[in-house]
Structure 1
Amino acid sequence: MATTAWKWSRDPGVAPGISIAQMKELEDFSRKTTKWMQVQLELVDMKIGKEIEGLRRDVEDKIEEQALALETSIMNLKSQVEDMDSSVQRLTQDGLLTKKEGMELIASIIQQRAAEESGKSLTLDDVRIAARQIVEAELEKHSADGIGRVDYALGSGGGKIIEHSEGFFTGGRAGWLSILGAGLSAGGAVRHPMAHKVLEPSYGEPGQCLPLKGSNVFVEIALRTHIHPDAITIEHVPKSVAYDVTSAPKDFRVFGWLERSIQAGTIARPVKKLLLGEFSYSLDGSNIQTFSFPEEVSRELINTVRIHITSNHGSSSHTCLYRVRVHGFEPSPQHF
């Protein structure tokens, strides 16, 4: 029987019983395994990198898509606001509402949308609906008295013509009949038979006015009661139907005072008349124009006004006064 001869390694780093060839084979296997693992790790890194890159691109695409959608929404909203602003400006230019009312209109629509919590965007229909309501309110106001403010000079409410400057009468028989039919004012002067027109609703008919001689004229009016005055409204016939607009009043002053007795032709004249304001009636505006008094004037108490017209729009013969309205508020009872 042959005996196998083993060659023991004398290398102290080699475990007993393992040959050098086997050790080399183990080292080669270890190197190959390490290299394979490195390759696998690189492949995993590449795969993860590609997935991350793809995910990053997806996120960027979604962000860009959302940004584009948001930009589009903002542009649409801007366009809607511009359209609404344009509509409101047209309503303002047409005299149906003031700039303040226009802003309040937009604010009311926004508040309505917020209250509904529907997320519905603002549209021109919203403006049209709100504008229609304003128009209807304006029509109702016009049907009442044109401007929707209390008139303390209204004849049917107790206002009276106290006195006016010399009336203008056309020549001929009709003119003399007019003079004969005229009454006397509180001051004893001839009262024009058309004087009452100043304190009555005007329906835009040419000639239905109080004609006063010259361009420097006046009229004094007793109000229905004591008030704190805040504005006066002067009305003339519309230019579109006027025969001659040169007789329309232009520059004028308004005075006010408190008469203690306006009856039976006896007037206790005040020591001083208060200047309520100086204004100018323009032919370029509405035929009905309201002029506000300074705030400090509203603290005063009056029951009589004098409208002193210092110039008209060109007529040297006469000035026509269609209607005068005086606005304000009544004092509290403890004032007296």
Structure 2
Amino acid sequence: MVPLDLLCRLLSVSVASIPAVDSTKDLAYENIIVNSTNVSNISPSKALCMEFCSRLQTFDPIMSGNASLCSPPWQNCLRRRFGTVTYTMLTIGLLVVATLYICLKSPSVDITQSVQTDLSEVKNKLEDLSQQFLTTSEIQRNVEKKLNQIVTLIPKLTEVTIKIRDDLSQDLSNRIQQILQTISQSHDHVNSLVQEHLTKYDADKTAMIDYALESAGGRVVSTRDTETYYKGDHVISLFGVPICQPSKTPQSIIQPGVLPGECWPFKGQTGSAIVQLIGPVHISGVSLEHIPKSLSPNGKIDSAPKDFSVWGLTNVDDQEGFFFGKFTYGIEREPLQYFSVQRKTQTPYLLVEMKVHSNYGNPEFTCVYRLRIHGELEQSSFGGFL
């Protein structure tokens, strides 16, 4: 922006270089404009110069020292130097230049303030961005630090993973070996049990000697007052003497067959049978066998003995004997059930009596399939066919 005092100085130099003009030619016109009190406002230079000075003093403080340039003596000097017409043209040019200066000077203040405001806002934005950048940089550094730590841990994690895998593999292998070994042992044990039970089954299902077995020399010598139950079986007799009897006799209880019907049926729910053993025996237990429900034609075994007792006799007519115990046969258990004697004695017995006290509800008859007597035989007195 060109200062006003410099503009006036340049204007003075330009005016000084213009040749002088004879002012006498326009003296009359000049006198009219300057001296006339009636048309004092007609002079264009006076009004314009005064307004120009006023505006310059308003917009620029430096005009306080240059206001005298537009005073009337300056105007008179210019008119005498150039004449009225030239003076008027110069005045108009000066006003144009001044107007341009004012136009350029006035918005520059607003622009400067606007620029300063914008710069301040930009500065604030830059500070915010700088702070954000610092925060982002710090986060980035932290992330890089964590990544470096992770990268450092990767080999250790790999090592631990490999170790865990090896340990698990070894443990799994050991467990599999243990399971296979257990299965093998279990298989051997199962085979042993199966073989044992098969052997036991072959050995009369108990693997114990039955000293009452008919084929070994045992026999039923008395049933006291117990009557055999016949249903549809007829005894063939000649002159009152039976010559053919059905196969369901008391001897059935010491025979090996236990198929349905291979039993001794007696009337009612109570009865007894005296068995002579193959020799004097130190009795330790007895076994009682009945068919299971699954083999019964009608699905019932209510004729099975329930409560029974075992006695050792010195002779067939012995009414007291030695009481070995009272037992209960359970139809919900195994068909073959063993009972240890409840009372023991050092006396061996040749005769054993079984007394049936009740059955499982059949009022007509009771069936005894198989009775076994177990213990230890007196070897010196054995006289059987073995």
Instruction: Tell me which residue corresponds to 2:220.
Output: 161
- Aligned partner of 2:20 in structure 1 is none
Q: Which of the numbers 190, 199, 202 marks the counterpart of 1:140?
A: 199
Instruction: Indicate how the Cα distance of structure 1 residues 311 and 203 shifts in structure 2: closer, same or farther if over 3 A, else same.
Output: closer
Determine helix, strand or coil for the equivalent of 1:146: coil
Using the TM superposition, give the Cα deviation of residue 152 of structure 1 relative to its aligned residue in structure 2, in angstroms: 0.5
Measured in 1, the distance between the counterparts of 2:168 and 2:195 equals: 42
Partner of 2:357: 310
C-alpha RMSD of matched pairs (Å): 3.7
- 1:252 aligns to 2:312 (yes or no): no
Larger relative contact order (C-alpha < 8 A, sep ≥ 6)? 1
Deviations 1:248-269 (A, max 9, x none): 0011111113x3xx6xxxx563
Secondary structure of 2:325's counterpart equals strand
Q: How does 1:90-105 map to 2 (within 5 A)?
A: none
Verify: 1:122 aligned to 2:181, yes or no: yes
Indicate conservation of the 8 Å contact 1:246/1:314, yes or no. Answer: yes
> What is the Cα deviation at residue 194 of structure 1?
1.5
Distance 2:286 2:254 in 1: 13
| 2-structure distance, mates of 1:287, 1:182 | 35
Q: Does 1:222 align with 2:276?
A: yes
Aligned positions of 1:128-207 closer than 5 A: 128-164=187-223, 165-171=225-231, 174-177=233-236, 181=242, 194-204=249-259, 206-207=260-261
2:334 corresponds to which residue? 286
Over residues 225-278 of structure 1, what are the superposed CA-to-partner deviations in whole Å (9 max), with x where a residue is unaligned? 111111101111222111341100011111113x3xx6xxxx5637x4111111
Change (3 A) 1:133 1:293: same
- Residue of structure 1 in register with 2:346 after alignment: 299
Rg larger for: 2
Worse overlay, 192-201 or 315-324 = 192-201
1:77 & 1:231 partners in 2: Cα distance?
A: 45
Residues 292, 137 of structure 1: CA spacing in aligned structure 2 closer, same or farther, 3 A cutoff?
Answer: same
In the alignment, residue 330 of structure 2 is paired with which amino acid?
Answer: S
Per-residue CA deviation, residues 78-117 of structure 1 (Å, 9 max, x unaligned), is 8x4xxxxxxxxxxxxxxxxxxxxxxxxxxxxxxxxxxxxx
Per the alignment, do residues 149 and 182 of structure 1 end up closer, same or farther by CA in structure 2, a change over 3 Å counting?
A: farther
Aligned length in residues: 223
Q: Tell me if structure 1 keeps the 8 A contact 2:258–2:290.
A: no
**Percent of residue pairs identical:** 26
SS at 2:302 equivalent: helix
Question: Structure 1 residues 132-141 or 316-325, which shifts more?
Answer: 132-141
Matched residues in 1 for 2:294 and 2:211: separation?
29
- Contact in 2 for aligned 1:167/1:192 (Cα 8 Å): no
Query: C-alpha displacement at 1:175, in angstroms?
Result: 3.4
Return the offset for 1:287.
1.1
8 A contact 1:192–1:210 mirrored in 2: no
Q: Is the 8 A contact 1:197 1:208 kept in 2?
A: yes
TM value normalised by structure 1: 0.56
3-state DSSP class of the match of 1:128?
helix
Residue 247 of structure 1 aligns to a residue whose secondary structure is coil
Distance 1:315 1:180, change over 3 A: farther
Q: Unaligned regions of 5+ residues in structure 2, if any?
A: 1-156, 382-386
Deviation of 1:72 (Å): 5.9
1-structure distance, mates of 2:322, 2:205: 28
Give unmatched runs, 5+ long, in structure 1: 1-56, 81-120, 184-189
For residue 366 of structure 2, the aligned residue among 319, 327, 330 is: 319
Secondary structure of the 1:254 match is: strand
Report the 3-state secondary structure (helix = DSSP H, G, I; strand = E; otherwise coil) of the residue aligned with 1:329.
Answer: strand
Aligned residue identity for 1:300: T
Decide whether the 8 Å contact of 1:232 with 1:291 is kept in 2: yes
TM-score, normalising length from structure 2? 0.49
For 1:285 and 1:325, how far apart are their aligned partners in 2?
18
Of the three residues 207, 217, 240, the one matched with 2:294 is 240
